[in-house]
């Protein structure tokens, strides 16, 4: 399998040596697209990997704007797409090396392990977080909208994700050193929420304060309870709250871009009910159903009496 490994990089890229080292044995070519990389870091990488093909592009607001364009920089028929905070696990390297080039698949979906605030997040929809990262160059079309999924041609192959959390270090997966601190999460959330709000505004999409609170409630309940975020401890709770906050942030930017239009008192009260009363009811339901908290019957009964 003739592979070009393609990496779009900016800033300090503290993990890019792991990225490059993980694809070194797989790649006939490594292309790094520089959209504002630290010059000293680039110099060190060039010394260690003199065969890297460097391409410079103007930094986009978000990477999907240039995804498809970067594919044309690859000279091999297959592309391995990685971010500079990702690397391929040894097990996945072995799997790819053993893959027959004549097999019928034109793209592969790999599980991705997200390490956030220093911990692997094994639940709350952060695992297995399947990503299409190895594909034939002519089999994919990547839209330019934020967080868009590509349009694909041909058959795909899904690499299975393990169920046993004890196998964390033995996964055949992409390893993603995601958010390292809360500030980094919030900075990116503000940037992405603003872009998402602009996209909604451009399509004249209607998005009310009630819609935003429904989405926020759904984010917390689904991530923390139905997707078992509680198993990730405080990390799972924090991420469920942050994802909930992101939904509200999108609405606030949407509201701002539309000139801060008023909502009726009825709409505002519906939003408050959704955010606090409905969330409390659903929390009670999950606590009761899952028997997650022992010795809390009295507390739960008082919560139920207040909100029912």
As for how many domains the chain has, the answer is 2
Contact criterion met (CB below 8 Å) for 263 and 209: yes
Percent helix, strand, coil in the chain, to 5, is 50, 20, 30
Is residue 108 packed enough to be buried (19+ CB in 10 Å), middle (13-18) or exposed (0-12)? buried
If one counts every other C-beta atom within 10 angstroms of the C-beta of residue 243, the result is 22
Question: Both 17 and 162 in a single domain?
Answer: yes
Question: Both 47 and 65 in a single domain?
Answer: yes
Find the DSSP H helices in the chain: 16-23, 39-48, 67-71, 90-97, 182-202, 209-221, 233-257, 265-272, 279-290, 297-307
Tokens (6 digits) for 7: 């990496």
Of residues 207, 211, 213, 195, the one with CA closest to residue 258: 207
Question: Both 239 and 109 in a single domain?
Answer: no
If one counts every other C-beta atom within 10 angstroms of the C-beta of residue 183, the result is 9
Contact criterion met (CB below 8 Å) for 190 and 251: no
Question: Both 147 and 29 in a single domain?
Answer: yes
Question: Both 173 and 216 in a single domain?
Answer: no
Check which CATH number belongs to the domain holding 107 and give it.
3.90.550.10
Cα(303)–Cα(308) distance, rounded to whole angstroms?
Answer: 8
- pLDDT tens, per residue, the chain with 308 residues: 899 999 999 999 999 999 999 999 999 999 999 999 999 999 999 999 999 999 999 999 999 999 999 999 999 999 999 999 999 999 999 999 988 766 689 999 999 999 999 999 999 999 999 999 999 999 999 999 999 999 999 999 999 988 766 666 778 999 999 999 999 999 999 999 999 999 998 887 789 999 999 999 999 999 999 999 999 999 999 999 999 999 999 999 999 999 999 999 999 999 999 999 999 999 988 988 866 655 555 545 554 555 45
Domain region containing 279:
182-307
Question: Both 261 and 173 in a single domain?
Answer: no
Residue that finishes a domain, picked among 120, 142, 177: 177
Question: Both 265 and 162 in a single domain?
Answer: no
Residue 165 DSSP code? G
Of residues 265, 271, 215, 267, the one with CA closest to residue 244: 215
CA distances from 168 to 10, 82, 171, 180 (A): 29, 20, 6, 19
If one counts every other C-beta atom within 10 angstroms of the C-beta of residue 263, the result is 14
Residue that finishes a domain, picked among 177, 206, 221: 177
Question: Both 90 and 195 in a single domain?
Answer: no
Tokens (6 digits) for 64: 């999907």
Question: Both 133 and 10 in a single domain?
Answer: yes
Question: Both 40 and 139 in a single domain?
Answer: yes
Residue that finishes a domain, picked among 177, 198, 225: 177
Question: Both 140 and 260 in a single domain?
Answer: no
Question: Both 41 and 190 in a single domain?
Answer: no
């Amino acid at each position: 399998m003739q592979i070009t490994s393609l990496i779009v990089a900016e800033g300090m890229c503290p993990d890019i040596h792991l990225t490059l080292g993980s694809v070194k044995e797989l790649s006939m070519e490594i292309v790094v697209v520089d959209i504002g990389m630290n010059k000293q870091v680039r110099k060190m990488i060039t010394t260690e990997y003199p065969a890297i093909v460097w391409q410079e592009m103007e930094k986009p607001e978000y990477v999907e704007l240039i995804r498809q364009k970067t594919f044309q920089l690859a000279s091999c028929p297959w592309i391995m797409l990685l971010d500079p905070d990702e690397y391929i696990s040894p097990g996945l390297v072995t799997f790819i090396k053993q893959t027959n080039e004549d097999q019928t698949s034109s793209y592969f979906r790999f599980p991705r392990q997200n390490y956030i605030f220093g911990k692997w997040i094994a639940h709350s929809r952060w695992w297995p977080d399947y990503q299409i990262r190895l594909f034939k160059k002519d089999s994919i079309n990547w839209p330019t909208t934020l967080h868009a999924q590509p349009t694909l041609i041909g058959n795909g192959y899904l690499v299975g994700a393990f169920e046993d959390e004890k196998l964390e270090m033995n996964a055949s997966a992409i390893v993603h050193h995601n958010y390292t601190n809360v500030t980094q999460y919030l900075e990116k959330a503000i940037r992405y929420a603003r872009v998402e709000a602009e996209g909604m505004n451009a399509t004249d999409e209607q998005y009310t304060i009630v819609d935003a609170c429904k989405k926020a409630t759904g984010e917390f309940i689904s991530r923390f309870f139905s997707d078992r975020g509680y198993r990730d401890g405080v990390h799972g709770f924090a991420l469920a709250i942050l994802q909930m906050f992101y939904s509200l942030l999108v609405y606030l930017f949407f509201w701002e871009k539309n000139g801060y239009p008023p909502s009726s008192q009825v709409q505002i009260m519906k939003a408050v009910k959704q955010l606090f009363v409905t969330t409390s009811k659903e929390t009670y339901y999950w606590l009761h159903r899952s028997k997650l908290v022992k010795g809390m019957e009295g507390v739960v009964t008082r919560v139920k009496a207040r909100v029912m």
